[in-house]
Amino acid sequence: MNEMRIEASVGLAQKVADFAHLFTLACAPSVAVENAKLAILDCLGVSILALTQEVGHATLSFARENADRGSCTIWGTGRTTTARDAAFCNGILSHALDYDDRNHSSTFTLAAAFAAAEDRSASGEWLLGGFIVGREVRNSLDKLFSDRNSGIGPGAKGWHSNGILGGIAAACSAGHVLRLDRQQMRNAVGLSVGSCGALTRDGGTMAKPFRTGQAAATGLTCALLAKSGFSADEAALEGRHGLLDALAPLPDAAIQSLGKDLGVKFHLETDIKSKPFASCTATHSTTEAMLRLRSKNPIVPNSVETIECDLKPYPLVRQFPKHGVEGRFSMPFCVAMALLHGRLNADDFTDDNVNDPAIRNLMHRTKHTPGTGKLVVILRDGTQISETLSAPSDLIGLNLVTEKFRRCTVSILREPQIDKVINMITKLESLPSTRELGREIHSSIQ
């Protein structure tokens, strides 16, 4: 692992730009590089699966009507388009099902880096480097949103980190792949800092993945503008009337942490937490508790009087969903599906399921008990059955992430393609051109 020389005296925006400019794979510990590959594999898999669902259909309809022809792949399809349109569409698909890893930063970083690399036939090493750069930049700034439940900071006001930090991370990803010089990278960061926006209220609608697509396309655009000679303020992050001022008030500890360990410690050294359910993380512990409770205590749904649990109203803003996509941000829907059917699959978030009378009956019997560490089902005869909540399960490691990738892609890609894509990603740093990977993740879908 080589050490990068980033001047300690530079401001935050310059530090971020210098990291993106100077980074090489040799700068990262091997575990971070291997975890990055797992995150890429997971992200591609859930993106391709999204093509089978409503938001994927809408994204492709948009592309058919509005995207220009080009050399960059819309993942899992036979359609190619311009780099910026590919970054936009793939950024949407990657977060469309809320099935990407729990960190969410794979979405805009991979979409932006992949488009930049494929457009210029850059090697897998540059794609992998750009992806790592974007994730590390995003996570070095993430403390801005760490105290959202305390009433302090942008998260408490309703801003969502994907849209606020995603464009910055994507600009660094794309800028790395485009090999921007130090000043160009600084301008790319400056351009991206003010090109942000996303709301927690977006959760449970197609607006949420739109924000990740927007972040990917915006970041790539900022990098391309900087390469073309566009300039920007050099302290847009930390300067007076810059982003930190606009998001204020912020906890002092959060401000002091920003970029502190960038390039020294890598967030990617921690396990990639791949999701087992295609819904907001806040639904997972209670859904798993319901599945455990159901397996131990066969329950007739009509015998249920009430279900008591913490509905996590922040960030789960869809208590009584009317459309399938809203169910991903609805605790009542997720626990009702788990109780009634003993599952919560990626394709269960449909209008038919949300409006099933049996499901709606259970949803309306689900009561909010804030702060509780248990799921309690009370039957009409007064019997109470409870299950203690545990930390949500994760799919960790190559075997489990590979299995998930196969499940996600089997209906769209051929088996030899799936095997080849997995092999390419596990050896990504040796791939001569990202276009080879683009050709393998295509299908007849237009």
For residue 28, the model assigns a pLDDT of 97
Residue appearing with tokens 């051109």: 433
Does residue 271 belong to any structural domain of this protein?
yes
Q: For the domain that residue 310 is a member of, what is the CATH number? A: 3.30.1330.120
Does residue 360 belong to any structural domain of this protein?
yes
Query: End-to-end CA distance of the chain, in Å?
Result: 43
Kindly tell me the sign of the dihedral angle through the C-alpha atoms of 323, 327, 332, 335. Answer: positive
Does residue 66 belong to any structural domain of this protein?
yes
For residue 166, the model assigns a pLDDT of 97
Q: Is the pLDDT of residue 4 over 80?
A: no
For residue 207, the model assigns a pLDDT of 96
- Do 25 and 101 share a structural domain? yes
For residue 348, the model assigns a pLDDT of 98
Task: Give the model's confidence band at 153: pLDDT under 50 very low, under 70 low, under 90 confident, else very high.
Answer: confident
**CA 58 – CA 290 distance, rounded (Å):** 33
- Do 263 and 292 share a structural domain? no
For residue 165, the model assigns a pLDDT of 97
For residue 293, the model assigns a pLDDT of 97
For residue 9, the model assigns a pLDDT of 57
- Do 314 and 248 share a structural domain? no
Q: For the domain that residue 36 is a member of, what is the CATH number? A: 1.10.4100.10
**CA 338 – CA 88 distance, rounded (Å):** 34
Tokens at 178, concatenated? 């485009």
For residue 57, the model assigns a pLDDT of 97
Does residue 214 belong to any structural domain of this protein?
yes
Does residue 22 belong to any structural domain of this protein?
yes
Share of the chain above pLDDT 90, in %: 90
C-alpha R_g of the chain? 22
- Do 180 and 253 share a structural domain? yes
Q: Is the pLDDT of residue 2 over 90?
A: no
Task: Give the model's confidence band at 1: pLDDT under 50 very low, under 70 low, under 90 confident, else very high.
Answer: confident
For residue 156, the model assigns a pLDDT of 85
Q: Is the pLDDT of residue 130 over 90?
A: yes
**CA 421 – CA 441 distance, rounded (Å):** 7
- Do 417 and 374 share a structural domain? no
Contacts of 43 (CB under 8 A, 6+ apart): 94, 100, 101, 106, 107, 110
Q: Is the pLDDT of residue 6 over 80?
A: no
pLDDT tens per residue across span 275-312:
999 999 999 999 999 999 999 998 999 999 999 999 99
For residue 83, the model assigns a pLDDT of 98
What is the phi-psi region of residue 6: left when phi exceeds 0, alpha when psi lies from -120 to 50, beta otherwise? Answer: beta
Q: Is the pLDDT of residue 441 over 80?
A: yes
For residue 8, the model assigns a pLDDT of 58
pTM (2 decimals)? 0.96
Kindly tell me the sign of the dihedral angle through the C-alpha atoms of 177, 180, 181, 187. Answer: negative
pLDDT tens per residue across span 87-119:
999 999 999 999 999 999 999 999 999 999 999
Average predicted confidence (pLDDT) for the chain: 95
Beta partners for 375?
387
**What mean pLDDT do residues 187-202 have?**
94
For residue 146, the model assigns a pLDDT of 77
Q: How many structural domains compose the chain?
A: 2
For residue 252, the model assigns a pLDDT of 85
Q: Is the pLDDT of residue 328 over 60?
A: yes
Task: Give the model's confidence band at 145: pLDDT under 50 very low, under 70 low, under 90 confident, else very high.
Answer: confident
- Do 434 and 324 share a structural domain? no
- For residue 443, give Cα distances in angstroms to 65, 76, 258, 344: 19, 6, 42, 27
Does residue 222 belong to any structural domain of this protein?
yes
- Do 237 and 137 share a structural domain? yes
**What mean pLDDT do residues 394-410 have?**
98
Q: Is the pLDDT of residue 147 over 80?
A: no
Tokens at 415, concatenated? 């088996």
Q: Is the pLDDT of residue 197 over 90?
A: no
Residue pair 138/46 in contact (Cβ under 8 Å)? The answer is no
Does residue 78 belong to any structural domain of this protein?
yes
SS3 276: coil
Tokens at 18, concatenated? 């210098």
pLDDT tens per residue across span 19-44:
999 999 999 999 999 999 999 999 99
For residue 254, the model assigns a pLDDT of 87
- Do 403 and 336 share a structural domain? no
Peptide bond into 276 cis (omega under 30): no
- Do 153 and 53 share a structural domain? yes
Residue appearing with tokens 């606009």: 246
- Do 214 and 307 share a structural domain? no
- Which range has highest mean pLDDT (154-158, 161-165, 180-184)? 180-184
Does residue 330 belong to any structural domain of this protein?
yes
What is the bridge-based pairing of β-strands 374-379 and 304-309? antiparallel
- Do 286 and 266 share a structural domain? no
Share of the chain above pLDDT 70, in %: 98
Which residue would you say has higher pLDDT here, 32 or 9? 32
- Do 128 and 187 share a structural domain? yes
Its domain, for residue 297, covers 281-388
pLDDT tens per residue across span 231-263:
999 999 999 999 999 998 888 888 899 999 999
